[in-house]
Amino acid sequence: MLWAALLPDSLPDDPQRRTEALDGLATWCLQFTPRVAVLEALLQCPAVVMEMEQSLRLFGGKRRLVERVREESRDLGVRQLSWAPTSLAALAVARAGLSNGFAKPLAQLLDALPLETLTQVATHQATLARLGCRTLGQVRALPRGGLSRRFDSQLLATLDQVYGLRPETYPWAQLPETFHAKLELMARVEHAPAILFGARRLVLQMAGWLMARRSGVTAFTLRWCHDAMRSKSAGDGGELTVRTAQATRDTEHLIRLLAEHLDKVELLAPVGDLELLATEVQSLEEKSFSMLPEARQSGESLALVLERIAARLGPDRVLRPVILEDHRMEWMCRWRPAPEPAPRARSCMVEVPQPTFILAKPLRLATQNNRPLYQGVLQLLAGPHRVEGGWWDRTTQSEEGERVGEGKGKGEGAPAPASPETTRHSARDYWVAVSEHAGVLWIFQMRLAKEETAWFLHGTFA
């Protein structure tokens, strides 16, 4: 049996909060094994113990499992992590400040430990000390009959359990159906990014919970409560919901996403408490490892990194195209945020030549002898290609409204609702033009008011 005992650091004194904190730690432990128990929750030095013998193979061997538990438990605020063949022995070893209970034969190791390491023995410490007992070994050397008569049955039972002579029974910790965890910060935090330090612990717990439930999260909410010394206008606190496109329980990714979002948050008052909720949870399919060595996928997937970039730059800056069935250049292609699912139907291909870069708004070109100028005189090559229509495409967009307003010479900025309904009708003759400096261009000629025509640059064949 491989038992681990975890002694958490700096628990709150309030019994309810104390239980919650221990349950949080137990939830994290449940990802490794279902045999997790909280010991002596309300006493001086509580602990969480778990038995991991059966999980060794799943987590890649004893060494890797121990490494992982040690790494992650440090972030969770575990003061002492110890290993031993029985749960109480692990606890005693942990309280004595040692970590490896396998260093010597168990009896030899335990005999040297002081009485305070076991609560049931420590209650009789005064009497035992007068008998001349200072270590567990000395207590065990006393005659069993006398011990059971003079002290309560607990003492002997505990001693037997520690040395592995009697089975241990525990009420196992249950995995909660939903995840919410609270954390009281060590110090008041005034800047949002500094919350991350505390939030990391909660995210780790959540990752443990997700792992135990074999699921991933698509949305989670971080709430913070301002402390009591806030101004009235600041309110109670705030919350931030982070969404991911794919269900995940990758701690590093979740924390990076949270960091990007927290960068934009401005706290109205110092924060005292944090709370984390897993709001949308989906079951996650496990990928089994291949027996054969395969091409190693280093790094993260594209969706994850795009999500992170979108979190910093804004969702409308990471874009994927959608082809629309329109013959007018501006509405041939629409860009939508990358995480949105792609439309199923593939639209048909346009056969006419099309540029590869387009300008957001056509650029009016100067002319010389009726020839368009753009970094020199342009040589028209192929054309005209007539694009006309769009009377069905009604819009009341302010941009269009402005253009209509300009055309009529009325400059007073009409608000968008008041602008008249118009259509995106266009009648243009497109040409392929070439310039020695600017390359191959896609320009069009359009008729303006008063029998005037004008040339516009709309794209480049780059």
Partner 1 sequence: MAISLLWADGENTPPVPQSFTPSGVAQRWPVGLPHAVEAAIWRGDALGSPVASTLGTGFEALDAELPGNGWPCQSLTEVLQVQPSVLEWRLLAPAMRVVVAQGKQIVVVGPPKAPHLPGLRHLGLDERQLVWVNADKPVERLWATEQLIRANAAGMLVSWLPQARQEQIRRLQVCAQSCDGPVILCRPESAAHEASAAPLRLQARLGVDWELHVHLLKRKGPPHEGELRLPSIPGGLETVLTPRLRYPSRLIAARQCRELSHAVGSPSSRQPSGRPAAAH
- Report how far residue 221's alpha carbon sits from residue 241's, in angstroms, rounded to the nearest whole number: 4
**Quick one: which segment of 144-152, 203-211, 224-232, 319-327 binds partner 1 (CB under 8 A)?**
319-327
135 versus 354: smaller Cβ distance to partner 1: 354
Q: Which residues contact 147 (CB under 8 A, 6 or more apart)?
A: 139, 155, 156
Q: Which tokens belong to 378?
A: 């342009």
Position among 170, 197, 357, 391 found at the interface with partner 1 (CB under 8 A): 357
Q: Is 67 an interacting residue with respect to partner 1 (CB under 8 A)?
A: no
Give me the least distance between CB of 430 and partner 1, in Å please: 11
For position 329 contacting partner 1 by CB under 8 A, the verdict is yes
Per DSSP, what are the bridge partners of residue 216? 282
Cα separation, 455 vs 354, in Å, equals 18
Candidate list 42, 187, 345, 360; residue touching partner 1; CB under 8 A: 360
Residue 212 CA, chain-centre distance (Å), reads: 17
Binds partner 1 by CB under 8 A, chosen from 186, 350, 416, 448: 350
Closest distance between partner 1 and the C-beta of residue 71, in Å?
22
Q: Which is nearer to partner 1, 78 or 378 (CB)?
A: 378
- Tell me: does residue 308 bind partner 1 (CB under 8 A): yes
Contact status, residue 257 vs residue 203, Cβ threshold 8 Å: no
User: Taking Cα atoms as reference points, which of 182, 180, 243, 256 lies closest to residue 217?
Assistant: 243
Q: At what angle do helices 251-262 and 192-213 cross, to 10 degrees?
A: 150
| Residues in contact with partner 1, shown as a per-residue x/- string from 369 to 388 under the rule CB under 8 A | --------x-x-xx------
The correct pick among 175, 194, 265, 359 for binding partner 1 (CB under 8 A) is 359
Q: Alpha-carbon distance 268 to 258, whole Å?
A: 19
CB of 400 to partner 1, least distance (A): 19
- Nearest CB to partner 1, comparing residues 42 and 345: 345
Q: Are 124 and 139 in contact (CB under 8 A)?
A: no
Contact pick of 129, 165, 322, 448 for partner 1 (by CB under 8 A): 322
Stretch that binds partner 1, among 71-79, 348-356, 408-416, 419-427 (CB under 8 A): 348-356
Structure-block tokens of residue 209:
């919970």
Residues near partner 1 (CB under 8 A), total: 53
137 to each of 106, 143, 148, 164, 263, how far by Cα in Å?
Answer: 11, 12, 16, 14, 56
Burial of 279: CB neighbours in 10 Å, binned 0-12, 13-18, 19+ = middle
Whether the CB-CB separation of 272 and 236 falls below 8 Å is answered with no
Q: How many whole angstroms separate alpha carbon 17 and alpha carbon 30?
A: 20
Site for partner 1 in 412-451 (CB under 8 A): 432, 434, 436-440
Q: Is 363 in the site for partner 1 (CB under 8 A)?
A: no
- Cβ distance to partner 1 smaller for residue 153 or 379: 379
Question: What is the contact surface with partner 1 in residues (CB under 8 A)?
Answer: 298-302, 304-306, 308-309, 312-313, 316-323, 329, 332-333, 335, 338, 342, 349-360, 377, 379, 381-382, 432, 434, 436-440, 459-462
